[in-house]
Amino acid sequence: MHSTLFAKKHALWLKILFGAFSIKDEAIYESLYDFAMIEYRHLVWLGDALVLEAKAFDYDKDEISFQAKDNFELFSIMIEAFKTIQNDYHDNAMFARFRSDEQYFIEKLTFLLEDAHNNAPIEAFDKRRKIEGYSLDQSQSDALIIFLFEETYKEYELILTYTYSNFYTDSKLLSGIFGDLIDESHFHLKSFARMLSKMGLLAVPRTIAKRVYQFDDLQQFLIDGIKEEEGAKEECLKLAQAVNHKELSAFFNFINYQENYHIALMQKALDYLGENDGTI
């Protein structure tokens, strides 16, 4: 098994995930998002297998090409991506699962291509900077856009960092905490990226520097992470005030309150590490 496959699966996950975010139709988006979450699960299983084989891997990635003019072009891009990666799979139970999942994805996308009603222009990249149904002035839009770009990257970074830490922990408690934080970040990433898509500003986050997730001191990472979450809470409150829109403000206050529990989970992990001499 080669660690280069991990990079390819990482790229495939992002291509399907952000391709899903670009779709306007909610039912089709939900189906493609499910495919992306299964691809993330594949990535985790592959990482676990590489750790068992003591093979190094990272989150470096090439440019991800997923932009399409309409749904049908995107479906074709996805089908080709699923077919291409089959050449890198070996013969064992894990790879058999990858193949069977992706064969279904190909079949589902092929079915979608057979009905013209499933096609529509993709508007996720037109840079219109407005959300349909919301009247925001320039300063409100600017504040929202800056926040969404920053937080989309942050949530992507957190998903991958906690996933990487989970590969190397034997603690059931830490693994559970990391899993909860990963799940929360998936939800936040989805929420923020969908808003960027509706504003015509969707883009794949930049590559994460190795030093961010390949750290030597988990305790310091958590201490820094708590400070970052506290900063995110402040930004949510500022944004809720700056946007001054009843529905959007309620959403960002909701995110702010969720950050409280994230801090509690990270503190719980810190306490555990303090009691166990930093052993994960």
Q: What's the DSSP call for residue 202? A: -
pTM above 0.75, yes or no: yes
The 10 Å CB-count burial string (b at 16+, else e) for 43-77 is beebbebbeeeeeebbbebeebebbbeebbebbeb
Q: Could you tell me which of 222, 268, 219, 259 has the C-alpha nearest to residue 239?
A: 259
8 A C-beta contact, residue 208 and residue 160: yes
In sequence order, which ranges of the chain are alpha helices (DSSP H)? 3-22, 26-52, 71-85, 93-113, 138-167, 172-198, 210-213, 218-243, 246-275
Residue appearing with tokens 């089709």: 28
Tell me the backbone φ, ψ of residue 121, rounded to 5 degrees: -60, 145
Count CB atoms within 10 A of the CB of residue 241. Answer: 11
C-beta neighbour count of 163 within 10 angstroms: 20
Distance of alpha carbon 154 from alpha carbon 164, whole angstroms: 15
92: DSSP letter: S
Query: Residue written as tokens 């013209």?
Result: 116
Taking the C-alpha atoms of residue 32 and residue 78, their distance in angstroms, rounded to an integer, is: 10
Q: How far apart are CA 144 and CA 170, in angstroms?
A: 40
CA 251 to chain centre: 19
Which phi and psi (to 5°) does residue 70 adopt?
Answer: -150, 175
Three-state secondary-structure class, residue 133: coil
State residue 280's pLDDT score. 64
How high is the pLDDT of residue 221? 87
- Digit-by-digit pLDDT tens for the chain (280 residues) are 567 999 999 999 999 999 999 999 999 999 999 999 999 999 999 999 999 999 999 999 988 989 999 999 999 999 999 999 999 999 999 999 999 999 999 999 999 999 999 999 999 999 999 888 778 888 888 989 999 999 999 999 999 999 999 999 989 999 999 999 999 999 999 999 999 999 999 999 999 999 999 988 888 889 988 988 888 888 888 887 877 778 888 888 898 889 899 999 999 999 988 887 666 6
The distance of Cα 142 from the centroid of its chain, to the nearest Å, equals: 23
- Cα separation, 183 vs 180, in Å, equals 5
